[in-house]
Amino acid sequence: MEKEKQFWLLKIEVGEWSWDDQATNGGLSNWDGVKSKQAQKNLKSMRLGDLCFFYHSGPKARRIVDVVSVVREWYEDDGSAVDVRPVGEMNRSVDLKELKGDDGLKGFGLFRQPRLSIVPIPNDMWDWICELGGGFGRGEASIKPVMVCFHCVKSLCFCFLLWFEVCGASTQSVGQINPGFEGSQMNWVDHDGLFLLSNNLIFAFGFYALDGTLFSLVVIHMSSSRIVWTANREQQVKNDVKFVLDENGNAYLGNAMSVVWSTDTTGKGVTAMELQDNGNLVLLGSNRRILWQSFSSPTDALLSGQEFVVGMKLKSDPYFNDLHHYLEFKTDDLILYVGYQTPQLYWSMSTDSRKTINQVNDTISSASLVANSWNFYDQNQILVWQFNFSNYNDPNAIWAAVLGTDGAISFYNLQNGKSPGPEPITIPQNSCSTPEPCPPYNVCSFDSRCQCPSVLKSRPKCTPDLNFLCNGSKKSVVELVYVGERLNYFALGFVKPLLKTHLSGCQEACRENCSCRVLFFENTSRNCFLFDQVGSLKRAELGSIGFISYIKVHSGGLDGGNESKEHKHVVFVVIITIATVLIIVGLIYLGFRFIRMKKKLMKRSQETSEEDDVFDGVSGMPIRFSYNDLCNATKDFSMKLGQGGFGSVYQGVLPDGSGVAVKRLEGIGQGKKEFRAEVSIIGSIHHVHLVKLKGFCAEGTHRLLVYEYMGKGSLDRWIFNKNEEDHVLDWETRFNIVLGMAKGLAYLHEECDAKIVHCDIKPENVLLDDNFLAKVSDFGLAKLMKREQSSVFTMVRGTRGYLAPEWIMNYAISEKSDVYSFGMVVMEVIGGRKNYVPGESLEKAHFPSYAFKMMEEGKLNEILDPKLDIDKNDERVVNAIKVALWCIQDDMHMRPSMARVVQILEGICVVSEPPSSSQVSSWIYSSFFKSNGEEGIFSRSTNDNSVVLPSEVQLSGPR
């Protein structure tokens, strides 16, 4: 029987081919079955936009690697590499020479160069191409490779563009993206908004949510989760705004209404956007020439190897009072300053005594982080200064210098993982040397304590009353109040004195200057400094004389004699009169509002009473609690058990001593009557494997559900070892939990009067009682929520690992969506680990893909939790793994019903081998070419071999 063929598409995107006779002799001439002269003729005649198709089958699958190798020789460039992407994993990068055996059939290669991409073509797509191409076919018995090249026609190009877009939806790219790429945060919600990875998988580019609703376009270091560059820091966007790399070479963030950020590279010959291994995001032109790069426009961080040159600037995120700090490379120096109305310097590298000087009287023109030091070079790249910030000298470490919101530069070793702490060496050397370690006018001590000067302690917030303006009006009566001696200020070392005089002269200069707020005077040098805005003051260092300081305050009086006093009296009378009138009018208005509100409350009370009668008059309703009852039962909601997709859950005890879990629903979009109807349905459902609804509360705007309390908590605590006892569940307990889940879901899907689709099956929604009996919770809640507010339709889209593909593709949701989620949970129960673990090896990171592979190779022990002691002859182990793999088929039609899952687990039905991993990724294409017939996947254990057809039930809305 002939093996299934694998077809490959070679698309030339830009440029032309150059022919290499040596490559031909070493490659195609040795390729069995290929007419080399015809192949050469075809390739030499190819033009921009041409499409070339290769396919190969049978035992000579190794030859497809030869094709790619030859292609590599034709297109010579540094760093030529191919990504081999097994089904389910899109992140392993290897060199072409490392491909062995039948890699050409098991995975597919994507040649990551701006001129070339190689991807697989489904068989059905190939048949369609053959029809358009005029009859060049595969040949039923042929096992020889065939190469066909032809110039694309408009309809064919359009169809392939559509195919590439569908195929690439929600898929992360590695290394590069090409012009024509676009998408919003919603397209990559399963990848946390990140759509472009560096080849070494250390950095990623994409959307990042800072507050959950607004997004920035960032470059992020993956393992530490630290943002190292931001495109739109000043103007964040919603999740429907798109990032676009258009065909004209311009990259921008925006929509039809406006553009938030752009590289302004239209018409400059951009061939690709690349995220390099050092974290630099670049736009490439011909010969890989860099046309634009993020390293040239840094935000608040510098990375190892990033060149910081004269004119560049870092800007911190805003402080609590919208204050920004800046690091700027000026000619001959690197400086820090604060963004006051008149900027004030507070540090420079030239004055920092901690640096090492290698060259004297040399001009610096660039700086970069190298190993554990910050190096400064002249225009000939000769080292002038060196600032060592760490004793950890690892040349392969990735360092980041970050300008924080407090104005200090900290150094982080990003390879230390999540939230790495900074090095103890910072710039400036101590926190009191930054502009505002304390509120303005407060004095910062060297132990980082803040103290309000005694002269300002009686004033609100320890600030002077500065209501005077420089507007040309009569001078306000001001006075200078003495703050103290032996004080210092961060900017005094970087400004020249306004004048040299005695203390009284300095005071007079400040009085006469309406913009002066603070003066500093040094007795020894008689230097006088005036400032129009001030941050924190600080104590003078030991051995330093310090400065005398005065602060200007408003005394409250006015000049002008009797005329001024009469004017003041008139103003006072006018103010009293206006205030009296306003008070009378306000009282009349409040009385009118009180009468209207009283009538409205009476009407609302009557309506509430009528609705309450409706609640009380319905038979079969669960117990109705008042809000006050539940406050008492939960001790004012003080003991929180967890936070779910529908709201928070609190532990409580009823007056009869029974324990309950009270769920406070959030985002309810229904009135009392609709809520009553849904509660009536949920309360009427009774099953041993479903959490029992004991009561509810519908009082005013409060909507609460009261469930039985489950002593062992949720399943995730036990399979991921998050329980206090660190107890490992044995196989018998795990199997019973899986079977209990299946029975509960089967009851919801097929035995209730109204079919209920759960929509959010995950370990957190499977609860265990004191005997580890599994019960499904949160069923029936999806229909209680507003669609635009419900976490079923928003937050759940970001839950990695449990969503069926139809959620992502916006297809109709059915009970088969629950089956998929059930299968993913079973995989975690069997393996004792999360389905996606970024810290694992590339092969094991995505557990379902790894399980498929191990199943094919007969290595079941590699799938099972290593902590389990399982009898290898127990058929339930194999059955559980097989049924889980059937449940997570991407094609919903191939998934079994939950009733059939129960039969299999109980041994009533025999389960066949699930499809191999190479078939799972074709679900998108197979949906385009699906025939009306479906092949059954299960059979009775008796002689009854009737076909079972899983069917999709399309609902009006998830329940």
289-329 pLDDT, tens digit per residue, is 999 999 999 999 999 999 999 999 999 988 767 889 999 99
Query: Token pair 């392939």 is at which residue?
Result: 160
- Does residue 360 or residue 450 have the better pLDDT? 450
Q: pTM of the full predicted structure?
A: 0.47
Note the pLDDT of residue 170: 59
Give strand pairing partners of 281. Answer: 275
Q: Tens of pLDDT along 150-184?
A: 333 333 333 333 333 333 445 889 999 999 999 98
Asked whether residue 651 carries a pLDDT value surpassing 60, the answer given is yes
Interval 189-220: pLDDT, tens = 878 889 999 999 999 999 998 776 789 999 99
Q: Per residue in 717-764, pLDDT tens?
A: 898 875 555 678 899 999 999 999 999 999 999 888 778 888 889 998
Residue 633 has pLDDT above 80, yes or no: yes
Which position has the higher pLDDT, 909 or 565? 909
- At residue 685, does pLDDT exceed 80? yes
What pLDDT is recorded for position 143? 25
CATH class of 713-940: mainly alpha
Per-residue model confidence (pLDDT) at position 395 = 78
The pLDDT score that the predictor gives to residue 67 is: 38
d(CA 366, CA 334): 10
Peptide linkage before 145 cis (omega within 30 of 0): no
SS3 165: helix
- Is the CATH number of domain 452-554 3.50.4? yes
- The one catalytic residue in 83, 103, 760, 818 is 760
pLDDT of residue 558: 36
Assess whether pLDDT exceeds 50 at residue 86.
no
Does CATH place domain 618-709 in 1.20.950.20?
Answer: no
Q: For residue 376, what are its two tokens?
A: 């400064």
- Domain residue ranges in the chain: 6-168, 181-296, 301-429, 452-554, 560-613, 618-709, 713-940
Looking at the domain 181-296, which fold is it? Answer: Agglutinin, subunit A (2.90.10)
Q: What is the pLDDT of residue 282?
A: 97
Res 6: pLDDT: 38
Let me know: does 8 contact 119? Beta carbons within 8 Å: yes
Q: What is the mean pLDDT of residues 98-113?
A: 36
3-state secondary structure 460-491: HHHCCCCCCCCCCCCCCCEEEEEEEEEEEECC
DSSP annotation of 846 reads B
Q: Is 760 a catalytic residue?
A: yes
CA distances from 854 to 36, 491, 801, 889, 917 (A): 40, 66, 19, 17, 10
Task: Give yes or no on whether 181-296 and 301-429 have one common fold.
Answer: yes
pLDDT for the residue 783: 56
Q: What is the CA angle 824-827-830, rounded to 5?
A: 155
Residue linked to tokens 């309390």: 709
Q: In what order do the strands lie in the sheet with 116-121?
A: 116-121, 6-12, 51-56, 146-150
Answer whether residue 79 shows pLDDT above 80.
no
Amino acid at 836: Y
Query: Which stretch of 127-136, 487-496, 679-688 has the lowest confidence by average pLDDT?
Result: 127-136
Q: How far is it, in rounded angstroms, from Cα 678 to Cα 693?
A: 12
According to CATH, the topology of domain 301-429 is Agglutinin, subunit A (2.90.10)
- The dihedral through the CA atoms of 889, 894, 896, 897 has a sign that is positive
Query: Percent of the chain beyond pLDDT 70?
Result: 69
**pLDDT score, position 103:** 39
